[in-house]
Structure 1
Amino acid sequence: MTRVLVVDDEPHIVSALVINLEARTYEVDSASDGATALELAAARHPDVVVLDLGLPDMDGIEVIRGLRGWTRVPVLVLSARHSSDEKVEALDAGADDYVTKPFGYVTKPFGMDELLARLRAAVRRAEPVGGEQEVSVVETEGFTVDLVAKKVHREGRDVRLTPTEWHLLEVLVCNTGRLVSQKQLLQEVWGPSYGTETNYLRVYMAQLRRKLEADPSHPRHFVTEPGMGYRFER
């Protein structure tokens, strides 16, 4: 059975979604703020998230980025924000689709049939291939990476990483065993305008190895593929 996480701080919206989803045999969890949404996502592993951007404790964009740190669960934004810039920001952060609540939606319901159709499409696109499973904690013999809590432990202690170091580690760990190109790493960590500044990667990879590898000069986990990119191996 498909599990849906509904994230919205407007009770009438949540109620309408829960009633319609449960009537169609979906299992539904709900959250009225971003922190609760991230906790529920980690605990309940929904198949799709329906997310409002205007939350009381954080912007929905932050929720999307928090999810994308460890999961590829489809995120369907349902928001009253209509500007193209805001839609682009949500999609660039990792949302899979965007449905706008119409003006006057408090008294005029939004298109439930369209929303449900988009939800079904998002779930279909996300069906796992080859038995892949998402994990939120990655363990090696020397350290542990908690992608939800955004923490790294080594020899029983927290390892302090800078935001850039963490983002680089996050991208590599989420692609365990796969070659990640230099350009992809630069654009995901530093932004879309970067793509040739490979010296950045050399500096920050050296810092990660120094903090996490048993022998930084002979790395086991952060492997360089010369001229191509980097690979994280457990």
Structure 2
Amino acid sequence: MAGVSVRRAAAYGIDAPVVFAGFGFAVLSCLLMTTITDGPAPLVGAGLLALCAAVQLHTTVRGKFVAWDEVLTGLRLRGHEEVLDLGCGRGAVLLAAAKRLPDGVAVGVDLWRSVDPSGNDISTTRENAVAEGVADRVRLRTGDLARLPLLDESFDLVLSSLALHSVAGADARAVAIREAVRVLRPGGRIVLADIGHTRQYAAALTELGMIDVHRRGLGWRMWWSGPWVPTTLVTARKP
């Protein structure tokens, strides 16, 4: 299907709100330092921190949507697939996928913790699905990514954006990867975006017999405060 507009009718919250609080505190501290310290260092520090916060804000309110639009467009979905989003949160990726599935279904799984993204709640995601006009093709489930409440080989595509790194421990993340493969149909694809552990994801997918396993950066649109925290995409296909 052709790309879908990244214009959004719903509210998707702020990723890592505690990070913005940290930036705010640090900028304020630098500004206070100007009252007791000579020289430009505190002002320079405040400016750099503000720039990092601006980069992070751009990523969370626009950049990630543009990046995922390009990823989803590149998948060339036919519109009838069954798609799973692991750690769907308020639905940024889930609903973007659902817009490309006029005859398909998009299922989101999450534990619905309210800290990251801000306001993460199953009722909010339902409201967002209504606002985006895709409620008829969206299903939401509560579940642990390491113990998915889903049947074997029930999805054509498994997505995840910035969720797997929150699974504590390498062993638990490996189990989550195994679960993603379990629910994927033969010929189906896995597309995972994350800020860490992506080499582990790729290795685990290879060990599980997945083919066409690749890693690539998603570029500046998904930098979190700067190039030192990039987002990497891992893709694979089930034979």
Structures share fold, TM-score greater than 0.5: no
Q: Bigger relative contact order, structure 1 or 2, given CA contacts below 8 A and separation 6+?
A: 2
**TM-score using structure 1 length:** 0.30
Taking structure 2 as the reference length, what is the TM-score of the superposition? 0.30
